[in-house]
Amino acid sequence: MSDPGVAVVIEDDSDVRNLVAAVLKQSGFDVHIAPNGRAGVELVRTHEAAVVTLDVGLPDIDGYEVLRRIRDFSTCYVVMLTSRGDELDTLTALQSGADDYLTKPFRPRELRARVAAMLRRPRVAAEPVPAVQPAASTPLPEAPAVVPSPSPVVEHNGLALNADARTVVLDGRDLPLTRSEFDLLNEMLKSNGSVRTKADLVRVVRGEYYGEDTYISDSDERAIEVHIGNLRRKLEEDPKNPRWLQTVRGVGYRLTPGRS
């Protein structure tokens, strides 16, 4: 990653704080650290952080409250860190708006891979580059034949997803999604009705770090259930008559049929 921007590490354990900061610095980030939640929120605000690592257990306010405050003004990527080994912590973190989580102790290589995977899927498309207009006296050359490229927009039952701009419009209104929610919805739309297992979707969220031979834990699959639940809530799905996502009990999910 070249010049990925600012990262903020919010962690009260000095050893973990220094380790995470070192990993992010090696990845090219300008890193700022905070030993408590209030200081961390201000660092994120002041430096307009792109990535935040956030400990769940902090000495002043817990990580969930810190995350809530950050989400009031920032769409930065947030990776929650917890040492409790409690699945409830993981699910609460994802429900609160975190993009990813890691349980301590973790491997530095995994943190770096998770952050890299997030940054490869930016939330906002780059600003378009304006076309250069030729001078009035310059004759225009004959335009070569152009083969139109496939549209990046996929539409289904009133929903339009633009994979290039990473935007979702539902019934004419923009739908704000986290990186994981967007990637899952995009994958389901591309599946064209095929059933996707929870293990398949774990690999979608985790990116290249989770290969075909990587062990998928129950916690990984529970995280997918939470992401899908959050996505359904934002889509305002009717559980008895889903418009987009159907549960295939014991397997995973599939896209609902198109409606006329």
Q: Could you report the per-residue pLDDT of 129-146, keeping only the tens digit for each?
A: 344 444 444 454 454 444
Run of H or E residues at 103: strand 100-103
Could you tell me if 93 and 71 are in contact, meaning their C-beta atoms sit under 8 angstroms apart?
no
Which of 88-92, 175-179, 183-187, 208-212 tops mean pLDDT? Answer: 183-187
Read off the pTM. Answer: 0.63
Query: Using one digit for the tens of pLDDT, what is the confidence trace for 25-81?
Result: 999 999 999 999 999 999 999 999 999 999 988 999 989 999 999 999 998 999 998
Please report the pLDDT score of residue 129 as a whole number: 37
Asked if the 153-255 domain carries CATH number 1.10.600.10, the reply is no
- Centre a 10 Å sphere on the Cβ of residue 47 and count the other Cβ atoms it contains: 15
Q: Domain 6-119 is classified in which CATH homologous superfamily?
A: Response regulator (3.40.50.2300)
Please report the pLDDT score of residue 128 as a whole number: 39
Looking at the chain, the domain(s) classified CATH 1.10.10.10 span 153-255
Looking at the chain, the domain(s) classified CATH 3.40.50.2300 span 6-119
Chain centre distance of CA 134: 41
Please tell me whether residue 40 adopts helix, strand or coil conformation: helix
Cα separation, 111 vs 148, in Å, equals 39
